[in-house]
Structure 1
């Protein structure tokens, strides 16, 4: 077992929520991948100034916090003293915690330029380079700090490489795709979301947002937009104030106020949206395929106007030039509520942002700690869907290695993307050509064995999820033990088809049948845990495959139950069979079954 990794995520910034949300999303994948690669979960610590740091605890992360710049200004803390305290807070925490990896977002030298003193410390460093304005990227401190990082990843698609600060970047830069804090399957179904919000099925639902709520104009923006949109007939407004909002709460007959985290869960129910164009709300709404009109907020480093322009060029969104102009706002929203226009915009959103780059971003951030082959394997076998299912049942990322290492070992899982020359070829292509090649290569991997195994595992986990919630964790653990036991009893070399993926799929299917048997049986005196325990004790049948052995096992147990035998008597019969017959064949077991029947 490898040494437990320590990772510090630096999310100290100004008034926004973007850094914290993006790093929290990526940190989930850092935890998943490190748990898989090291066979133990890492210690991840956030350093933050965000006033929404409670969202970190909700996601299972510890955080050390200093006052935000907004609070420091409102409470009239001495500016120089605040900077001095903040710098020492960062230096001392890094010195005491002694991380293996420091991950920083957007500002490479730190919010107070304090990272210059520690970036050459005894740990690896990775930088999340969200695109910034060219004039900000050209600052000497920015460019100097960039050179001190071991890995730099842009949370954008390749098409972004010629825009903003990236255009002048002369170092190595890897593009992960946009980081989104949810997957499509995480969203509530539209009808369920509308019921929870209390929205009439015949009404249009329009989302109104000023981003995270910390912008100095957030209150005025929400008031102006809501006042304008309340004039529309048959429209319900969902106002996402954001966790940082400190202004007046808005109310009205057609206004639903929401100021907590998790507003994205309801995005599938939206007919349209009006939102600020910060990195997170912009990409989340596009990814959820919501017809949206964006307006730009003025930020030091973030060029929201350029972000909007890139999407309007492909008709993936609308632009609101003046959020105080009610006529403009009403006209844009009314146009987006037209079904034909909305359908065209949803299609454009899907084309512009087809996938979530969070997992890829985490892989690139971890690159200084692990070799490329290990990282490629981890990314290949641990997909978002499988990770979610495992965490839902076991409640922890720590089980990733226990499930995936034996079932999808590195020497059995290879892809064309892992070829050492592929990345060099891609880097020489234009951004659009590189994206197209990556998509084709990804599609070529769809028929690989790991996806067969993933599909079977998800079916098994979903079968467990439909059973008694109080036993789901125990059932997941017993299922894994049973799979590993059968792998030892029915080795690949003895199977009729000597193919790893087919072999594993058959074994998983054999265990899944026992789980599904529980769901259809009402008079079975044995619980599923007992069935799995007996299955682990069942001997190897030397002349049948895993599925054939599982069928014989179920017949044996069923016959004993018909005779009225208890579980200890069935277990005893299995042990006697193993002791008296070192090699159990299908014929021998069928003869034994015939004897039970007569």
Structure 2
């Protein structure tokens, strides 16, 4: 397919559902850095997809199997039909799928549009021995794009050593785009004065000190540190308390300067945002993930002197961990910033642009 100068061509960004917003956010990081002449368009299984509209990116929602209540066979048919229709309608120069499990039907949709180049954006750090059967699906794509991981030296998963176009760690925003402390707190509606911590551990009970979230909140509050959470359900448990605040903003990364420290899971996005943007963090990895090796990621950061890591905050371990965070966290965060290799999102966008100008799929 020829690409005439001055004509916008679509880059179709397709995200799987996942447990959070990582896939969608990573695609948006690529899309907002595409050069003139390429126009991002998002099709996502995530119910959070409307957030991309804030960046002026058109979007479509394709409900996941769980969201539809369909059985697997019915949903696979729906996915295949929606993908085929979208590819036929948009005729994208490039289609990018971000996920660790390319769905059946995507290959047929690509075959129906031979002018579309295809890229698998495939995050690494898989748990050892997991998901190996998916690697053969690389043959559906013209290129595999691997967003870098600061913990890559600790990666023992199936993607290690495979053929891929590797770029630096990808985050949606860069340090120059972030607010200063005062502006960030105003934007989030937080107190102007006093120390604040971001607690982002997923679901939890703020009133149960045997729970990870509850233990973190108790330890921080007892040391005079206000707590900010991102889930309304957790905040509602703290009704009447003036030391717990709900923050709702996308992307929260542009306002991380509002917080003095963080206690967070070690998913790809939060891990790289906190380290690249200099937020002192105690990582509490979620080991219940099906594939993402958060334990290896968090422990590597601790070994490199970039952050703290704790497998649990229960069993009386939280106080020592929070004391270490408040005392050592700022120095560790500075070390992480000094080791920052830069944002790989621009290099990823360059790859997509190069593919957009090279014609039909091989």
Q: 2:156 aligns with which of 155, 160, 164?
A: 164
* CA displacement 1:405-427 (0-9 Å, x = unmatched): xxxxxxxxxxxxxxxxxxxxxxx
The 8 Å contact of residues 220 and 322 in structure 2, kept in 1 or not, is answered as: no
Which residue pairs with 2:73 in the alignment?
80
1:135 correspondence with 2:129: yes
The 8 Å contact of residues 12 and 92 in structure 2, kept in 1 or not, is answered as: yes
Which residue pairs with 1:585 in the alignment?
none
The change in CA–CA distance for 1:192 and 1:248 in structure 2 (over 3 A counts) is: closer
CA distance, structure 2, for counterparts of residue 356 and residue 305 of structure 1: 23
The 8 Å contact of residues 5 and 100 in structure 1, kept in 2 or not, is answered as: yes
The 8 Å contact of residues 180 and 358 in structure 1, kept in 2 or not, is answered as: yes
The change in CA–CA distance for 1:198 and 1:6 in structure 2 (over 3 A counts) is: closer
Which residue pairs with 2:291 in the alignment?
301
Q: List gaps (5 residues or longer) in structure 1.
A: 372-598
Q: Displacement, 1:209?
A: 0.7
Q: Displacement, 1:159?
A: 7.1
* CA displacement 1:489-516 (0-9 Å, x = unmatched): xxxxxxxxxxxxxxxxxxxxxxxxxxxx
CA distance, structure 2, for counterparts of residue 143 and residue 231 of structure 1: 46
1:366 correspondence with 2:356: no
The change in CA–CA distance for 1:94 and 1:222 in structure 2 (over 3 A counts) is: farther
The change in CA–CA distance for 1:167 and 1:114 in structure 2 (over 3 A counts) is: closer
* CA displacement 1:228-256 (0-9 Å, x = unmatched): 33542321112123xxx766634322011
Which residue pairs with 1:8 in the alignment?
12
CA distance, structure 2, for counterparts of residue 69 and residue 163 of structure 1: 30
CA distance, structure 1, for counterparts of residue 293 and residue 265 of structure 2: 12
1:183 correspondence with 2:177: no
Normalized per residue, the structure richer in strand is 2
The change in CA–CA distance for 1:53 and 1:183 in structure 2 (over 3 A counts) is: same
Q: 1:313 aligns with which of 287, 303, 321?
A: 303
The change in CA–CA distance for 1:289 and 1:271 in structure 2 (over 3 A counts) is: same
* CA displacement 1:422-472 (0-9 Å, x = unmatched): xxxxxxxxxxxxxxxxxxxxxxxxxxxxxxxxxxxxxxxxxxxxxxxxxxx
Q: Displacement, 1:349?
A: 0.9
TM-score of the pair, normalised by structure 2:
0.85
Higher relative contact order, structure no. (Cα contacts within 8 Å, ≥ 6 residues apart): 2
SS at 2:32 equivalent: helix
* CA displacement 1:359-391 (0-9 Å, x = unmatched): 1121123332247xxxxxxxxxxxxxxxxxxxx
Q: Displacement, 1:155?
A: 0.9
Q: Displacement, 1:198?
A: 3.7
CA distance, structure 2, for counterparts of residue 51 and residue 228 of structure 1: 32
SS at 1:154 equivalent: strand
Normalized per residue, the structure richer in helix is 1
The 8 Å contact of residues 229 and 330 in structure 1, kept in 2 or not, is answered as: yes
Q: List gaps (5 residues or longer) in structure 2.
A: none
Aligned residues: 343
The 8 Å contact of residues 65 and 71 in structure 2, kept in 1 or not, is answered as: no
The change in CA–CA distance for 1:87 and 1:249 in structure 2 (over 3 A counts) is: farther
The aligned runs of 1:347-496 (5 Å cut-off) are: 347-370=334-357
The change in CA–CA distance for 1:57 and 1:189 in structure 2 (over 3 A counts) is: same
The 8 Å contact of residues 132 and 158 in structure 2, kept in 1 or not, is answered as: no
Which residue pairs with 2:141 in the alignment?
149
1:327 correspondence with 2:316: yes
The 8 Å contact of residues 182 and 192 in structure 2, kept in 1 or not, is answered as: no
The change in CA–CA distance for 1:152 and 1:337 in structure 2 (over 3 A counts) is: same
CA distance, structure 2, for counterparts of residue 92 and residue 240 of structure 1: 36
Q: Displacement, 1:164?
A: 3.3
